[in-house]
Amino acid sequence: MSAEKPKNYRHMFKVVLVTGPSGAGRSTAINALEDFGFEAIDNMPLTLLPRLLAGPPMTRHLALGVDVRNRDFGTDSLIEVVNIIARDTAFDCSLVYLDCASDVLQRRFSETRRRHPLAPDVSPLVGIERETDLIRPLRDRADILIDTSDMAPQDLRAELARWFFSEPGQGMALEVQSFSYKRGLPHGLDMVLDCRFLRNPHWQETLRELDGRDSDVATYIQADPRFDDFLARSLGLMETLLPAYRDEGKSYFTLGLGCTGGQHRSVFVAEALAKGLAQQGWQVSIRHRELERRAGGRAEAPVGRNA
């Protein structure tokens, strides 16, 4: 697995190992990295990793999920593997540790009724304490530490995007997010555009229960004589600003689109803007905050050259 690091080492492929206590969000992280274009493998035996890296040339970054369920898991062996990759290969290696408070982990196991892998026949708290002690050296060695105690899945996804979504040669990664002003502005927005001046489908009984992704809702909003100019000017503004932000070293940019309920106008405009930005060559992901709340989960999809 030994290889001399080339001069452009920073632009080589990434190998990201994701670990942490069971229930902290490793599966969510692996799925997010896969959406970002990584080749994702969960619970692969560590002894097979050198063979994988020494195999055919990689065409994508690699994300590996590692925890106590791995057949040959060991904290010392995992740290040794990470150090070897970082020191002796041409891969940019990172160990990501997802941390989480014990009481939150216990609640998550209780809500999902899952057994802890280190305590399948007793209380999950026993397994949580065992695992915390076992993997503490990994937390100390981690290159990136993310505490998921107060994070929803979409928050973890956004945090990982800030670290890993921006690709060499692609530049800055974008997220376009719709929201309702009734619930306040989402955290982490870099810019906000207000869509409340557009005609509101809520007042049409046949459209009220639909959302901005529906073609009938789209037709209704597009019929507003101010829509086309608003979309064109918004895309023009982004076309001017985004390269400047990228050139200043910003790797991630979040644009918020707000309306009264976060169901119709902001959703449709977010979809339209994301499509236009993707056509300009940007890598874009979409998030609809209020639709996520209603669905009880994720209501987002990547848009762009790799979508």
Give domain status of residue 219, yes or no.
yes
pLDDT higher than threshold 50 for residue 266: yes
Q: How far apart are CA 274 and CA 133, in angstroms?
A: 45
Please indicate, yes or no, whether residues 69 and 132 belong to a single structural domain of this protein.
Answer: yes
Give domain status of residue 1, yes or no.
no
With beta carbons less than 8 A apart as the criterion, state whether 2 and 83 touch. Answer: no
Residue finishing a domain among 136, 164, 192: 164
70 — pLDDT class (breaks 50, 70, 90): low
Give domain status of residue 285, yes or no.
yes
289 against 121, higher pLDDT: 289
Please indicate, yes or no, whether residues 84 and 130 belong to a single structural domain of this protein.
Answer: yes
pLDDT tens digits, 111-133: 777 777 776 777 777 878 888 88
Give domain status of residue 4, yes or no.
no
Let me know how many helices (H) and strands (E) the chain has, helices first.
10, 10
Q: How far apart are CA 151 and CA 162, in angstroms?
A: 15
Q: What is the pTM of this model?
A: 0.54
Please indicate, yes or no, whether residues 177 and 159 belong to a single structural domain of this protein.
Answer: no
- Average pLDDT on 195-207 reads 96
Tally of structural domains, the chain: 2
Considering only 100-109, 169-178, 186-195, 241-250, which range has the smallest mean pLDDT? 169-178
* Local structure of residue 39 (DSSP, 8 states): E
Q: How far apart are CA 28 and CA 127, in angstroms?
A: 21
Domain of residue 192 covers 173-303
Please report, for the domain that includes residue 112, its CATH number. 3.40.50.300
Give domain status of residue 3, yes or no.
no
pLDDT score for 171: 59
Please indicate, yes or no, whether residues 146 and 42 belong to a single structural domain of this protein.
Answer: yes
Residue finishing a domain among 164, 188, 222: 164
Please indicate, yes or no, whether residues 189 and 243 belong to a single structural domain of this protein.
Answer: yes
Q: CB within 8 A of 284, min separation 6: which ones?
A: 174, 175, 176, 274, 277, 278, 302, 303, 304
Give domain status of residue 252, yes or no.
yes
Please indicate, yes or no, whether residues 149 and 17 belong to a single structural domain of this protein.
Answer: yes
- Name 67's bridge partners: none
Q: Percentage of residues in the chain with pLDDT exceeding 90?
A: 36
Residue finishing a domain among 134, 164, 194: 164
Please indicate, yes or no, whether residues 179 and 123 belong to a single structural domain of this protein.
Answer: no
pLDDT score for 249: 65
Please indicate, yes or no, whether residues 139 and 227 belong to a single structural domain of this protein.
Answer: no
